[in-house]
Amino acid sequence: MEITKKMVEKTATKLSAEEILGGKVLSVKWEPKLKYAWDNGPAIGRYLAELKNGKIIAKKCDKCHRIMIPPRMFCELCWVPTGEWVYVKDTGIVNTWIVGYVDWKAKRLDIKGGVRPITPGIIEIDGASKGMGILHHLGEVDPWKIHRSMKVKAVWKPPEERTGSITDIKYFKPTK
Amino acid sequence: MSKRVAIVGIGTTGFRATTPDVSYRELTYEAAMKAYLDAGVEPKDIDSFVATSEDFFEGYSIADEYSPDQLGAVLRPIYTISGDFIHSLASAYMMILSGIGPISVAQGMSKASNMLTLSEMVTFAMDPIYNRPLKESPHAVSGMEMARFMYETGTTREQCAKVVVKNKRNALNNPYAGHGVLIDTDYVLNSEVISYPLTQMDISPHSDGAVVVVLAEEETAKALCDKPIWIRGIGWCSDTPGLETRNWAEAIYAQMAAEMAYKMAGIRYPRKEIDFAEINDEFSYKELQHLEAMRICKKGEAGPLTEIGGTEITGEFPVNPSGGCLGVGNLYELNGGHKVFEVVRQLRGEAGKNQLKNVTTGLAQSWRGIPTTTGTVVILSN
Amino acid sequence: MRRVAIVGAGLTKFYRNTQETPKELAYEATKMALDSCEMKLSDIDCVVHGTAPDAFDGVHMKGEYLSDGSGAYRKPYMRHFVGGGTGVLSPIHGWFHVASGMFDTCLVVAEEKMSSAYPHPAGAFLTIFDHTTEQPLYPTLIYIFAIEMNRFMTTHGYRKEDIALVAVKNKKNAMDHPSAQLPAEITVQDVLNSEIMAWPVNRLDISPTSDGAACVVLAAEHVARRITEKPIWIDGCGWSLDTAYWTTRDLYYPDYLEVAARQAYKMAGIKEPSKEIHIAEPYDPFTYKELHHIEGLMLAPRGKSVQMLVDGHFNRNGNLPTSPSGGLLGVGNPIAAAGLMKVIELYLQLKGTAGKRQVPGNPTCGVANAWGDLMQVGTVVVLRS
Ligand SMILES: [Zn+2]
């Protein structure tokens, strides 16, 4: 049997945004008010505490010898508990990146009006094992001059503004 | 079914009201390590994995992303069931029967303490058009169901309270349980009314924890362990999700899931052929309602049986010797995992002070909670 | 192991906004699938449902909410979930139900109503990221896919204008698909000139958000032979997840897919995929993703897929037609339903009932895949006539 236009056309009714917003069809609104308080455990707990101190800490697997960031209590590949804590540098290289013209809600930024595009990337952190990257933003750089393997360094918030969060690093900027 | 499948390893963290010292990752990792050690397997020996999660319980959209690492399942066959743990167990069981490989693992986890708006969450599960705008408390649904169940069966509030007393006492002797306490029926009857006839003490408090279970096909099971616990029957069923069209007195989902499992296990007289049960008692009356739905008791008989101590550890048909949800805690999608864990402990003779004598067949049953009508049953034998 | 076949299929129209509720969409697809093989709900032993995040439809435990719309009233019913990979996991999960011997027939339903999430479903994606180490940075899916596309391009030296050909091909193929939301005849220049979303991704590199549902009916061999003269067999299944630490993987290559494909090919007895497979529906929510997946499915050598695309290898009349349906880029992307739509396309093509979309040469073996989560899931099925 073939699935034809005639068959599918009666399965769904197209609505435009105007018909919904203009009240032509009735709708129900519900904003879920859900709150969570996540237990982070020892590994991420220490990671955050060290960020507050202006340092980045990793954890080492004694089996595969990977130095892993973000730190974790067990190595997901060897499946054994991890060993020592290792401070890594706050410098690294750009593994890959983008130039974002929309925000996280898919709302368009006013680029023509002078708003800088959002430039997140994966930063491979120096001192961690090869390929160990974290997600962060790139700053103090022309978005169109960012390139693969560009050397970058963390720009920290002043100590009194740090809260023990990944945002204690404002962004990574190119090193000369 | 040509192949037989057994549970060859179980592991848990135990169940506590809060677990601030670990993240969800370490919680499952601990349970998995214990289960694999118990079964004598390593992740590389395992052919397939099934995780259990429900997005808004975990607080993640697409919560299954976080399933592989803590099970040792990176780049291995793993998927997630958004259901009860026993759904996942059934899924793992079917994978073994389908020839995916002789060893499979099912996982479930609860971080209920991390959910700060549980009531809002349950409301969010209701029909967005018909029910949510009414802004009823989720306990209104359980209260209405309790009232209808009592009306149709003649069950009394005292009999429901007796379930609470029994289960919370059983929990005191279970090292894995987090909500054991010694109280009497008056204490339950006089506790704060939440949604009459439901009182505060009729409702299970929540718990955190993780359970991992290792399953193996017959030959492998016998090679791996001395006491394989066989899956003799398994069943699951969803009745209507609509509040308007459901049967408010009877748990049809439990009845149909049980009948599916009985048929598979060749069980005709469950009360005689099964020795004990770990069943869902998220609300006190649910234990009684489920017993009747599964033909372990006749309609209206579960209350009186409980009243005379027939479902105590020393009784004729022990129910929830572990302490059940009321004594161990409501674990949400992990509820079935706890039930299976406890039935296996009993059948292995490892239940310590709560050990039942001469038990060979046990039943684990779960329900997905308000507002669902979805239930699962598994029958295990040593 | 019992052989399992697809014996019927149903699909709704895909729109950005439908008036129908999620339940009703599921019902429409399910009804069409049952009608297509002249079966009744009472002939069905069990139901599986695949649907992606609850945040889209805006219902907690939405599998429960969708159950009666999916024909599961008082039946064994289970919901499986691997993010965007769910659509192709659906027939796999149904396959377990039947291949295991537990059931003879199974309804496999997939539904998504993304328009319920307001103002835009993209907002629901913030909470897929690690709540502590990533969410405070406000990432979104488009960013991370663009991040992957960039790594793929810089590793192989691929050019945006070549990758854009995927959108041109798929949207054109979709012109012949009855459910299609965004069929169009466009040029590479149109893709490059469309608004930048997150460079290197432009608007026309992306599939739309959609509402829709899909359904297939599975049957064990002895039942299938009674229902139809031409059952389409599920001969291979594979699935895998890579680590959730997605920033530590080299995103240029989909390892998760190669692992899943090898499992499926082994089950189907396929040794040389590029020769034995006649038709493919690689998952294409983004243009680059079709190529990324063609390489992961081992249908093209690593770093060579773009040249093959440019040479017309993947066109409907090419050596290996890919996304003859029009794919997610052309037909639309109601997440889980889109994955199942791809499986349905293989079913119709192998049966020879794809109408205007029928690829030449009587194909007898096809592969479909889907992908999701934090770019870490591979789900693969191999179908044969
Ligand atoms: Zn390691």
Chain A residues contacting B, CB < 8 Å? 28, 30, 32-44, 72-74, 76-77, 79
Residue type, A73: M
Please judge whether A98 and C20 are an interchain contact, meaning their C-beta atoms are less than 8 angstroms apart: no
Distances (CA, A) of B213 to B24, B89, B96, C299: 17, 8, 14, 38
DSSP C170-186: HHHHGGG-TT-SS----
> Which positions in chain C touch A8 (Cβ < 8 Å)?
11-13, 178-179
The pTM score is 0.97
A10 contacts C13 by C-beta, under 8 angstroms: no
Q: Mean per-residue pLDDT for B39-60?
A: 96
Chain C residues 226-255 within an 8 A CB cutoff of chain A: 243, 245, 247-251
Q: What is the pLDDT of residue B314?
A: 96
Whether residue B361 is predicted with pLDDT greater than 90 in this model: the reply is yes
C233 contacts C383 by C-beta, under 8 angstroms: yes
What is d(CA C10, CA A172) in angstroms, rounded to the nearest whole number?
50
Whether residue B2 is predicted with pLDDT greater than 70 in this model: the reply is no
Say whether A41 sits in a helix, a strand or coil: helix
- Cα–ligand 1 centroid distance for B75 (angstroms): 15
- Which pair of structure tokens corresponds to residue C292? 């990324």
Q: What is the pLDDT of residue A25?
A: 86
Q: Neighbouring chains of A at 3+ CB pairs within 8 Å?
A: B, C
Q: Mean per-residue pLDDT for B72-85?
A: 98
Q: What's the CATH code, domain B5-116+207-229? A: 3.40.47.10
Nearest CA in chain A to B21: A41
Which residue, B255, A161, B171, B76, is CA-closest to C240? B76
Identify the burial level of B109 via C-beta atoms within 10 angstroms of its C-beta, where 0-12 means exposed, 13-18 middle and 19 or more buried.
buried
Which residue, B54, B36, B286, is CA-closest to B150? B286
What is d(CA B45, CA B29) in angstroms, rounded to the nearest whole number?
17
Which residue, A142, A161, A128, A141, is CA-closest to A54? A161
- What is the pLDDT confidence band of residue B96, given thresholds at 50, 70 and 90? very high
Say whether C81 sits in a helix, a strand or coil: strand
Q: B181-213 as b/e, with b when 16 or more CB fall inside 10 Å?
A: eeeebebbbebeebbebbbebbbbbbbbbbbbb
Residue type, A86: V
Q: What is the DSSP letter of C282?
A: -
Q: Mean per-residue pLDDT for A132-143?
A: 97
Distances (CA, A) of C370 to B126, C204, C295, C343: 30, 20, 14, 10
- Cα–ligand 1 centroid distance for A76 (angstroms): 7
Which residue, B170, B211, B301, is CA-closest to B290? B301
Omega within 30 of 0 (cis) for the link into C200: yes
At C141-150, the pLDDT tens digits run 899 999 999 9
Dihedral sign for Cα atoms in the order A80, A85, A86, A90: positive
- What is the pLDDT confidence band of residue B166, given thresholds at 50, 70 and 90? very high
**Residue A123: strand pairing partners:** A94, A134
What is d(CA C377, CA C231) in angstroms, rounded to the nearest whole number?
29
Pairwise pLDDT comparison (A104 vs B202), residue with the higher score: B202
Whether residue C119 is predicted with pLDDT greater than 80 in this model: the reply is no
Angular region, A63: left φ>0, alpha ψ -120 to 50, beta rest: alpha
Q: What is the pLDDT of residue C246?
A: 96
Q: For chains A and C, count residue pairs whose Cβ atoms are closer than 8 Å.
A: 177
Q: Mean per-residue pLDDT for B28-56?
A: 97
Pairwise pLDDT comparison (C76 vs B118), residue with the higher score: C76
Residue type, B167: N
Percent of chain C having pLDDT more than 70? 100
Q: What is the CA angle B368-B255-B271, rounded to 5?
A: 115
Identify the burial level of C222 via C-beta atoms within 10 angstroms of its C-beta, where 0-12 means exposed, 13-18 middle and 19 or more buried.
exposed
Structure-token match 């069809």, residue found: A25
Identify the burial level of A117 via C-beta atoms within 10 angstroms of its C-beta, where 0-12 means exposed, 13-18 middle and 19 or more buried.
middle
Please judge whether B73 and C241 are an interchain contact, meaning their C-beta atoms are less than 8 angstroms apart: yes
Percent of chain B having pLDDT more than 70? 99
Mean pLDDT rounded to a whole number for chain C = 96
- Compute and round to an integer the Cα radius of gyration of chain C: 19
- What is the pLDDT confidence band of residue B1, given thresholds at 50, 70 and 90? low
Q: How far apart are the first and last CA of chain B?
A: 19
At B98-135, the pLDDT tens digits run 999 999 999 999 999 999 998 899 999 999 989 998 88
Which residue, B372, B376, B378, B375, is CA-closest to B145? B372
Residue C369: HSE in the Cβ half-sphere, 13 Å Cα cutoff:
37
Q: What is the DSSP letter of C32?
A: H
Please judge whether C83 and B82 are an interchain contact, meaning their C-beta atoms are less than 8 angstroms apart: no
Angular region, A147: left φ>0, alpha ψ -120 to 50, beta rest: beta
Please judge whether A166 and C132 are an interchain contact, meaning their C-beta atoms are less than 8 angstroms apart: yes
- Which pair of structure tokens corresponds to residue B162? 């007796």
ipTM, two decimals, is 0.96
Neighbours of ion ligand 1 (CB under 5 A): A 61, 63-64, 75, 78
Q: Mean per-residue pLDDT for C217-230?
A: 96
Q: For chains B and C, count residue pairs whose Cβ atoms are closer than 8 Å.
A: 183
Whether residue C1 is predicted with pLDDT greater than 80 in this model: the reply is no
Closest approach of chain B CAs to the CA of A2, in angstroms?
31
Nearest CA in chain C to A28: C116
Domain spanning B126-205+232-381: which CATH class is it, in words? alpha beta
What domains does chain C contain, in order, with CATH numbers?
Answer: 4-118+208-384 (3.40.47.10)
- Cα–ligand 1 centroid distance for B71 (angstroms): 14
Sequence-separated (6 or more) residues with CB below 8 Å from residue C92 = C234, C237, C239, C379, C381
> Which positions in chain B touch A72 (Cβ < 8 Å)?
25, 69
CA C245 to chain centre: 24
Whether residue B34 is predicted with pLDDT greater than 80 in this model: the reply is yes
Q: Neighbouring chains of C at 3+ CB pairs within 8 Å?
A: A, B
What is d(CA B332, CA B108) in angstroms, rounded to the nearest whole number?
10
At C309-346, the pLDDT tens digits run 999 999 999 999 999 999 999 999 999 999 999 999 99
Whether residue A47 is predicted with pLDDT greater than 80 in this model: the reply is yes
C13 contacts A11 by C-beta, under 8 angstroms: yes
Domain ranges of chain B: 5-116+207-229, 126-205+232-381
Please judge whether A35 and B43 are an interchain contact, meaning their C-beta atoms are less than 8 angstroms apart: no
* Count of Cβ atoms closer than 10 Å to residue B344 Cβ: 25
Q: Mean per-residue pLDDT for A57-80?
A: 97
Instruction: Return the minimum-mean-pLDDT range out of B116-130, C63-77, C253-267, C336-350.
Output: B116-130
DSSP run (H or E) holding C46: strand C46-50
Please judge whether B65 and C239 are an interchain contact, meaning their C-beta atoms are less than 8 angstroms apart: no
